[in-house]
Amino acid sequence: MNTELAIYKVVAGLARTLPPPAMATLCRGVTAAIPLFDAERKRLVARHLERSMGRRLRSDEIGPAVRAVFASYARYYTDTARLPGLTGEDVDRGFSYEGFTSIEDSVAAGKGTVLVLPHLGGWEWAGSWLARVPGYEVTAVVEPLANEGVRQFMHEWRESVGFDVLALGPGLGGELLRRLRANHIVCLMSDRNIGSGGVAVDFFGEQTELPAGPATLALRTGATIVPLCVYHRGRYNHAVVEPPMVVEREGSMRADVTRITQDIAHLLEMQIRRAPTQWLLLQPNWPSDFT
């Protein structure tokens, strides 16, 4: 029996059938208990919070702040689980935004758009809105999952809400180049590097690696890099779209990719600092996290 898949299906089913307030209450209760049973996860989340806040948390702050992160995760997951049962009009009613002209202008330019995002707030709601309301061609790149049943479930779930899903793996770069040249929007989660091919940057005052993909794709295609972040604001998933980044060749390809990726890191810091407890980075992300 695929226990992990069964859990995903039960939670998704509840999210689609229970009234949102009831589901939110249930999830808050479940997620509030996670730090009690996973001390290492609590420690890791607290470290990420301290990085993003730029200070040490007092002992009386750690518990509430960590619980707020898991409450944000519950909101993200239940909102996402509801998406397949919603119409485009429903998605639009639950969405607000600012700075959207950056995306409109990029699409009008016709060279493709690379959206760079942190794992924060309701990013999948934004992807569904882009595909179902203005009707853009949207591709999201996701982490490959070892559990084949869960992978297939998540793939079908995401594609049912309007956007294509591609997993990291061999041949991905060529396919993304093709889609950008066809003027698609490609969404790249950029605050965590998975596998090889990362670029060393300073991120919240500490060296780590972030993905080279956004800079590499933009330099090779002329696509526009548009930073985007989606926050939970009341009943809305609220997108803040930043002005497009400057992407120019100045030296070697490697040097340019490193420079642009460092610029992305600074933008991610700004986005995350607006709402640190909505940053859903629950995995190690710096070398010191493993010590």
- Cβ neighbors of 170 (< 8 A, separation 6 or more) are none
pLDDT of residue 196: 75
Give the separation between CA 272 and CA 276, rounded to whole angstroms. 5
Token couple for 8: 């995903």
Q: How big is the CA angle at 36 (ends 35 and 39), to the nearest 5 degrees?
A: 65
Tell me which H or E stretch contains 171. Answer: none
- In the chain, where are the structural domains located? 3-82, 87-277
Q: Rounded to the nearest 5°, which phi and psi values hold at 185? A: -100, 125
Give the separation between CA 42 and CA 146, rounded to whole angstroms. 24
Cβ atoms of 275 and 124 within 8 Å: the answer is no
How many residues does this entry show for the chain?
291
Cβ atoms of 150 and 5 within 8 Å: the answer is yes
pLDDT of residue 65: 95
What CA–CA distances, in Å, run from 77 to 8, 63, 73? 10, 21, 6
Give the separation between CA 180 and CA 49, rounded to whole angstroms. 34
pLDDT of residue 241: 98
Strand stretches in 61-137, DSSP E: 95-98, 113-117
pLDDT of residue 78: 83
Give the separation between CA 270 and CA 204, rounded to whole angstroms. 10
Tell me which H or E stretch contains 134. Answer: none
Q: Tens-of-pLDDT digits for all 291 residues of the chain?
A: 466 656 666 666 666 676 777 666 766 666 666 665 678 888 999 999 999 999 999 999 999 999 999 889 888 888 888 888 889 999 999 999 999 999 999 999 999 999 999 999 999 999 999 999 999 999 999 877 666 666 677 667 777 788 888 888 888 999 999 999 999 999 999 999 987 779 999 999 999 999 999 999 999 999 999 999 999 999 899 999 999 999 999 999 999 999 999 999 999 999 999 999 999 999 999 999 987
pLDDT of residue 17: 72
